[in-house]
Structure 1
């Protein structure tokens, strides 16, 4: 699946949750996903991190996406940066193998959040 198709697949499922993908780039083993959130408040909304990650995991389970390092950058609807998060390829592979539970994967990713 090329980057444009991956972006469209992510957007299809996320827009109804107030998550708008503004950029998606695969570069050197890292998938960078920039998105805007309609969620009120400051910082990185944890629920939306889960939604982005779960959509990628769905695509992985369907054989449409190969795990890679994922780096998320979150902004508000005015383009003001709210923070970043990451999911390492090794975590995604371990999760796929059943070596890492949903809860363990989620906690690892949430632990990486850096508020702007």
Structure 2
């Protein structure tokens, strides 16, 4: 990994996101996490997805895809989402606005 997994987990924990599994390679980062907010809403919170992506972007040197699987605090599946590496590169290059990027990610959310 070209980033510190403990730092990633610590930063996400400060946002109420508790990493249960983390896997990374040169193409993507797959994070499974428990969410306080997801349990209250019974849905994948869009703002929280944004936080996860932003923390990953802050801690990694090169854009790569991010895939998230969300559970509530009881471990019950809530949903999944993803952000493609090409979207992240387009965002960094200014070819995609933050709003357009966010819309693409939100459209990938599937509820369990």
For normalisation by structure 2, the TM-score amounts to 0.89
Q: Does 1:51 align with 2:51?
A: yes
Whole-Å separation in 1 of the counterparts to 2:79 and 2:69? 6
Aligned length: 110
Structure 2 runs not aligned, ≥5 long: none
Alpha carbons 2:2, 2:61 under 8 Å: kept: no
Which stretches in structure 1 are left out of the alignment for 5+ residues?
none
Q: Per-residue CA shift, 1:95-115, capped at 9, x if unaligned? A: 111111111111110110000
Structure 2: how far apart are the matches of 1:8 and 1:52? Answer: 14
Match of 1:87 in 2: 83
Please state whether the residue corresponding to 1:111 is helix, strand or coil: helix
What's the Cα RMSD here? 1.6
| Corresponding position of 1:29 | 27
The corresponding residue for 1:115 is 111
- In the alignment, the residues of structure 2 paired with residue 92 and residue 10 of structure 1 have an alpha-carbon distance, to the nearest angstrom, of 18
The answer to whether the 8 Å contact 2:34/2:75 transfers is yes
| Residue deviations 1:59-99 (CA, integer Å, cap 9, x gap) | 2xxxx432122110000111100000000010000011111
User: 1:17, 1:69 → 2: CA distance?
Assistant: 21
